[in-house]
């Protein structure tokens, strides 16, 4: 799977560990930044990752910041992006199974790196269930056109 990965300065060190983890699983990872711990604006990174995923340059996006909230809020402004802030394996699975999320967001201040890895593995391995969820996702995506 091709993954577009990004973080702000607060999660830079975690991003570097997650990048290595994803590659160890055999994924093709594109690093969208940031490249250091110098303060930067998370909306810039979130927009870059979300646009790449929506354009099909990656199968999934991964965004990391202090809490995951700002990244998700920003990514969800891009039409076609379905970003979910994940807190545990339950939310990781539901994000894919029920909402067909294409962008995983997590917080380096909220979860230890190992737990982010566990949640990310669940997220990447879970398929969208479809069925009754299709009409709900269609309603969400329709909002992009209003």
110-to-16, 42, 134 alpha-carbon distances in Å: 17, 17, 31
The catalytic position among 40, 87, 98, 133 is 98
Q: Which residues contact 112 (CB under 8 A, 6 or more apart)?
A: none
The reply to whether 105 belongs to the active site is no
Query: Of residues 9, 65, 105, 119, which has the active-site annotation?
Result: 65
**What's the sign of the alpha-carbon dihedral 70, 76, 81, 84?**
positive
The residues facing 105 across adjacent strands are: 63, 85
**Catalytic-residue membership of 98:** yes
Residues 6+ apart with CB under 8 A from 79: 54, 141, 144, 145
Catalytic residues: 65, 98
């Amino acid at each position: 799977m091709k993954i577009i990965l990004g973080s702000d300065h607060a999660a830079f060190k975690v991003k570097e560990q997650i990048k290595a983890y994803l590659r160890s699983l055999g994924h093709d990872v594109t690093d969208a930044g940031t490249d250091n711990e110098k303060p930067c604006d998370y909306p810039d990174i979130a927009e870059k990752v979300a646009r790449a995923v929506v354009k099909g340059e990656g199968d999934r996006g991964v965004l990391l910041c202090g809490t995951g909230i700002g990244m998700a809020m920003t990514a969800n402004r891009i039409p076609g992006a379905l970003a979910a802030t994940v807190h545990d394996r339950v939310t990781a699975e539901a994000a894919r199974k029920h909402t067909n999320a294409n962008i995983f967001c997590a917080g380096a201040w909220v979860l230890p790196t190992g737990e982010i890895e566990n949640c990310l593995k669940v997220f990447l391995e879970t398929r969208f269930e479809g069925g009754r969820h299709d009409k709900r996702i269609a309603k969400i995506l329709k909002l992009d056109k209003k």
